[in-house]
Structure 1
Amino acid sequence: MLERLGRDRPRPSGRTAVWLVVGIALVSIGTGVAAIVTQPTIGTTGALGELQAAAEFSGTVVGFALLVAAWGMRRGYRLAYVAAAILVFLSAAHGVAQSRLLSVPLVVVSVGGLVVLVFTSERFTRSSSLTLDATQLGALIAIVGVFCYGTAGTYALRAEFSNVQSVVDAVYFTLVTASTVGYGDVHPTSDGARLFAVSLVVLGPTTVAVTVGSLVGPAIDRRFSRTGSRVTNGPTDRSARVVVLGYDETTARFVTALATRAAVLVVTPDDDVASRLERAEQANGAAIDVLVGDPSDGSILERADLETATAVFVATGDAARNGYTVIAAREATDARVVVVAEDGRADALERAGADVAIDPDALLVDAVVGATLEGESEREGAGEKER
């Protein structure tokens, strides 16, 4: 009985989880800014003091990172959900480390956010299809290596630098020097330290440039390729948004054609189909987004944001599921609902709420019969004229 009650208990929606993460992000940013200008309730020294000082600034960074994660969750990415869970835990840890009364709300909302994220895990299942080639992976390793090299070297040579006493000071000098900002408040006082600083000046900007180029370059190329493809294939009405509920080989050509004229979101329960569509989008620039889930599930349709759709195209490939999906879509939106009907069920689907139900086989039969009889009629007409 308890298990049944647990299943029947309403769970938070995916949209609730997204907005909660946004709220935690804003609280984290506000708490981090406030911590900079206030004194801790519990003052500490030594390593704990350094941790406390670092938490004052890094809490704001965690907040902005949570905003990025919330954007990914809004699109249903599983990777964004995992990142948000980790960042929410870190925000709670930052609230504790800051040791201020004003950080108590951050701890409370972060703990509550973790509970909500646990119950909404199944809402975020979309694969990010993020793959790194050898060059990109090497560039990331290089930039992490340069950062570790700079921090460790500066801390080891701290006696030969002015104003370097802690690991935080070493991190600060590494970032400022490697980015060529160079405020001048920390500077080397020996030849060895100067040579070390020169190596950071050489390695830092070079590594950052290579990393940014390897990571951003392919995305820019794909964007230009996608733009060129859309120009070649015809104008795309970006104000039109079509949600396709279901996907199979029969309807694939319809989805491809729609993507050349409007923004398309495909909802499919098949992870393999989703991966194929995402690879096809990267290859030919088709404007297709993918959401993995049951097209007849109300919570999935909520994530698909049917309320903003210009039209809904139902094509699950199963006659019975088409009916359920049409009913669910009609409950979620007033937009035009078009469905591919099979086995003469067009009338039933229109009664279920579809604006247009099309039977491709029936259309093909009518076209063939019409073309055949039209040709016969023309020959009969020509014979009558001869007589």
Structure 2
Amino acid sequence: MRAIFGSKITTAFTLLLIVSLIGIIGFRYVSQYSWIDAVYMTVITMSTVGFGEVQPLDDSAKLFTVVLIIFSVIIFAYAISVVTEYIFSKSDPERLQNKRLQKIMNKIENHIIIVGYGRNGRQAADKLLAYRKPFLVIENNRQVIEKNQNEDFNFIEGNATEDEVLLAAKIKNASCLICTLPEDADNLFIVLSARQINKDLKIISRASQDTSYKKIRLAGADNVIMPDRIGGDHMASLVVVPDLIEFLDNLSIIGKRSINIEEVTFEAMFDDQKSRTIKDIDLRSRTGCTIIGYKSADGEYTVNPEADLSLTPGSKIVVLGRPEQINSLNKEFDL
């Protein structure tokens, strides 16, 4: 917040300084005033106090003065508005926060909405931050929002079971909804409402009970995750295939420089609609990454695809690589 105001105030005073310099130089050479008189004329012109001229102005000097007054009034008004906004923000920071959030919401689209900022919601947010995906969080607990308001994303305060809150989160323009609430009934209701509002929305929901799984799917969720079942399966796998599970865990470590797996669409890599084989793009020699999976436009998956497999529009590839190789991939295709 301070950085935002610091930038605005700097801009305002920089503009005032520039106009002042233009006024001084203009009066010095257009009206042939001395430097002291030029400074005096600039000050009284910009401040519009109405004092008389040092000496009569010719036509060119009058035109210059008119232009100077116009620009001065505009810049003064801007500077006053910035300073006033800063003063009011000191006494009402919530108002400023809401105003900033509204500006962001007016522009946001194709974003992800996370409902709930509990343990699962926080994990989802960390993952999306690592992959630099645009998202926001709907949270009903004011204390949770205040505790985490300095995070690199925005909160919408409200109950996501209400359509007004979902609409405030721009669900019509969103690409995905992640429901992480602990109560299955709440997740079910949100999924049902979200699907009615946005038919094309990808919905991922949490479920705690086996009986809720099918109900949430029928309500419109594309994927339903049961954290307790995943946790138990994961722990058992550490006994059966411990090295494999530890290896997979290392692939999914969250961090700004620890992304090891990336999904890339055909359209993100190529501007045209021309098909190419895996061998043609030669991804390993260009970036160091290895293609470990392929999803066709029809939704069919291929694990460890052959080099002669053709990549077509609408398809996706899954690549594996060290963090620096993933960065090289992103730079290569400007992802």
Assess same fold via TM > 0.5: no
Quick check: which one's helix share is greater? 1
- The bucket for the TM-score relative to the shorter chain is 0.3 to 0.5
* Greater share of strand: 2
What TM-score, normalized by structure 2, do the two folds share? 0.41
Tell me the TM-score normalised to structure 1 length.
0.36
